[in-house]
Amino acid sequence: AEESIYNLLPRLEEKPVKPPRYISIFRPSVKREAEKNKAQWKTMGPAKVAVPSPKNFLQKHSKEPKLPARKKEQDSKKLPALSVPRRTDHPVMGIQSKKNFINTNAVAAITGLPKKPQPIYVDRRQGDKYLLETSGLVPKYIKKKDYGVTPKYVTRRNEEIKRAQEEYEANILEHLKKKAMKQLSDEERRSILQGLKKNWEEVYREFQGLPVQIDTIPKKIYKEKLESQMKQLEHDIEVIEKHKVIYIANE
């Protein structure tokens, strides 16, 4: 060590003070439970174990899965008829035909109708040939008997919709009769619609007469008022045009 004045005086070694060891308050109860439930084979196994017999040794293929026994075919179940001859079947031999196939084929070729060529088309002078029927150039669909006829399922669906609408209107009428309401006629509906459109035109004319520059609060309020009136009138016109049947309460 290097010589220093501080090393002349002896130093006392300070030993660190260890804190007391932690001991749980449940230690006695745990110790008591461990002694109470202890068994002689808890950690080392049972005291006496049966020795396995030397005859019960593992045999070959003993752990492979075994298939269930094959069931015999019942007599009631008959095998389907085979489309090929059986192995034991033999062809019939010695049968000869006296038919003259040459003359028969010649007569059939002479008296038979000539085969009509299939209509084709080509895309250019020396192009490929294509069938005309599948090209879409032949109007065969418009010449069908049922061309342009409404399908049966569409007619049936329209009838069901019409019948449901009639039932709904009948229920509404019965419900409205109980509540003392009446249905607007076509003339009243038309006159109300014309009046609403006329009012909309008048409000729109006033809206068009507003100045280009709206710089005061009264002008802004008046403009918002006209816009709200036009929106309300447009909504009422749309509702009346959309619904042909309108009911109102009797006053």
Rounded Cα distance, 22 and 130, in Å? 100
At residue 31's C-alpha, the angle toward residues 29 and 32, to 5°, is: 65
Confidence at residue 201, expressed as pLDDT on a 0 to 100 scale? 92
Rounded Cα distance, 229 and 200, in Å? 8
CA distances from 113 to 102, 109, 117, 119, 120 (A): 19, 8, 12, 18, 21
Reduced to 3 states, what is the DSSP secondary structure of residue 164?
helix
- Record the tokens describing residue 79, joined without a space: 């095998």
Confidence at residue 69, expressed as pLDDT on a 0 to 100 scale? 85
Rounded Cα distance, 106 and 112, in Å? 10
Confidence at residue 173, expressed as pLDDT on a 0 to 100 scale? 80
Which of 248, 234, 251, 250 is closest to 189 using CA atoms? 248
Confidence at residue 233, expressed as pLDDT on a 0 to 100 scale? 92
Confidence at residue 76, expressed as pLDDT on a 0 to 100 scale? 56
Show the beta-strand stretches assigned E in 107-243: 120-122, 129-131, 181-183
Burial class (CB in 10 A: 0-12, 13-18, 19+), 237: middle
Confidence at residue 186, expressed as pLDDT on a 0 to 100 scale? 85
- Residue by residue, pLDDT tens for the chain (251 residues) are 567 777 777 777 888 888 899 999 999 998 888 777 666 556 566 667 788 888 888 889 888 988 888 877 655 566 677 678 888 888 888 888 888 999 999 999 899 888 888 888 888 888 888 888 888 888 888 888 888 888 899 999 999 999 999 999 888 888 777 666 677 888 888 898 899 999 999 999 998 888 888 888 888 899 899 999 999 999 999 988 888 887 776 65
- Residues whose CB falls within 8 Å of the CB of residue 229, separated by 6 or more in sequence, listed in order: 203
